[in-house]
Amino acid sequence: MNNIKRYAGIIWIVLGPLAIYYLIKTAAAEIAKKPVIDTKIQWAVFITVFIPIAFGMMLFGYFAFKGDYDHLPESSAEIED
C-alpha cells in the first residue's frame, strides 16, 4: 500500500502543472472568443483561485512520494505533539 501511495504521489506532482497549463490554455481561448471585461474578470478569478490549489496538489504529491504518509495515526493517542 505504501508503494501505491508513492506512485500516486508522482501522479499528483504531474497533474498540478498539467491542470495549470490547461486552465490557462482554456482561459486564453475563451477570452479570445469573447474579449469583454466580464470574461476577463471571470477567468482571472478562476486562475487566481485554482493556482494555489494546484500547488497544493503538487505539495501533497511530493510528501506522498517522499513517504510522509506511510504510517498514518489510527487514534489521537498516536499523534505526537
pLDDT tens-digit series, residues 60-73: 999 999 888 777 77
- Residue 49's identity, in one-letter code, is V
Q: Is 71 helix (H, G, I), strand (E, B) or coil?
A: coil
Q: How far apart are CA 40 and CA 33, in angstroms?
A: 11
The rounded mean pLDDT for the chain is: 90
Q: 45 pLDDT exceeds 80? A: yes
Among candidates 67, 53, 49, 52, which has minimal Cα distance to 10?
A: 67
pLDDT at 80: 67
Predicted model pTM:
0.76
Q: What percent of the chain is predicted at pLDDT more than 70?
A: 98
Phi-psi region of 80 (alpha: psi -120 to 50; beta: other; left: phi over 0): beta
User: Where exactly are the structural domains of the chain?
Assistant: 2-69
